[in-house]
Amino acid sequence: MNELTRHALELADQGLSVFPLQANSKRPITPHGYLDASHDVKQIEAWFNNGQHNNLGLRLADTGIVVVDIDHHTQVDGRQVLKEWQAKGMTLIPQYAEHTPHDGLHYFFKNQQPLSDKVIVPGIELKTKQIMIAPSQLDGKAYQTIKGTDLTRLSTLTAWLVNLLTSQQTAHTTLQHRLYKTWTGKLLDQLVAGTDQGQRNIYLTSLLGKLLHTGCDGDTAYSLLFFANDHLNPPLPDQEVNTIFKSLMKRMNQKRGATLGQ
């Protein structure tokens, strides 16, 4: 039994559900991603103990677990924001944490508040639906557990961050509702319509920008981007679609960082 299967079964033994993603990718293999997550031993062994080197996804939805995702980018470093928070007494002390392949951090917490996926500040996001977890790999580098062993023993998400998220969510509700009303119908049409072979990069970049503008979380936009690509004739290689996603997310983080600094 490989390490991935062992870890998936350990999570299942803790009452948690997991799902497979493609090797070296965040792209789910199952039709509905984290919604297909399972803690059934036979299903987990079929997904992971098969020589395919699939990545491991953990369902967060309905578990009372959330993840603070601290990214490290050239222009926007969430770890620096974390240090600035700590200097002000706004501490985040997880009982379980992982180091990501791109030098970021995942802090796991318990939470029973009605929160959703959200960019808290540039470089730091809240994940409430799903997360990729160790020992998954991206670009040949692995997620690594750096603190804790048991996801049933987590500290509670600190009150100051819950209050911040709750106030942000209330302030943006009306705006997001208007955006959904304005964009959704046309966006769904564009998602299905596709484009000519020579316009694939431009089409997918534009589509991704509109998806993110609706207020959906990054994982949703990522999945829909691949859905759109799969319906092109011919589709772009997965690596090229990943590059489009990473490039646009980087530009958006830089833009948010510049706006925050004004």
196-to-100, 200, 209, 211, 221 alpha-carbon distances in Å: 37, 7, 19, 20, 21
Distance of CA 165 to the CA centre of its chain: 17
pLDDT of residue 256: 58
List CB contacts of 20: < 8 A, sequence separation 6 or more.
28, 29, 30, 47, 48, 54, 55, 56, 57
Tokens of 101: 């392949």
pTM of the model: 0.70
How far apart are alpha carbons 183 and 185 in whole angstroms? Answer: 6
* Residue 75 and residue 253 in contact, taking contact as beta carbons nearer than 8 Å: yes
* Residue 19 and residue 33 in contact, taking contact as beta carbons nearer than 8 Å: yes
The full set of domain ranges for the chain reads 163-261
> Identity (one letter) of the amino acid at 148?
G
Per-residue pLDDT of the chain (262 residues; tens, 9 = 90+): 889 999 999 999 999 999 999 999 989 999 899 999 999 999 999 999 998 889 999 999 999 999 999 988 756 788 998 999 999 999 999 999 999 998 999 999 999 888 988 888 888 999 999 999 999 999 889 999 999 989 999 999 999 999 888 876 554 444 445 444 455 667 777 777 788 878 899 999 999 988 888 777 788 888 889 888 888 878 899 899 999 998 888 887 766 555 545 5
Is 29 exposed, middle or buried (CB count within 10 Å of its CB: 0-12, 13-18, 19+)? middle
Q: Which of 211, 215, 218 is nearest to 174 (CA)?
A: 215
List CB contacts of 57: < 8 A, sequence separation 6 or more.
18, 19, 20, 21, 28, 33, 34, 37, 130, 131, 132, 133, 136
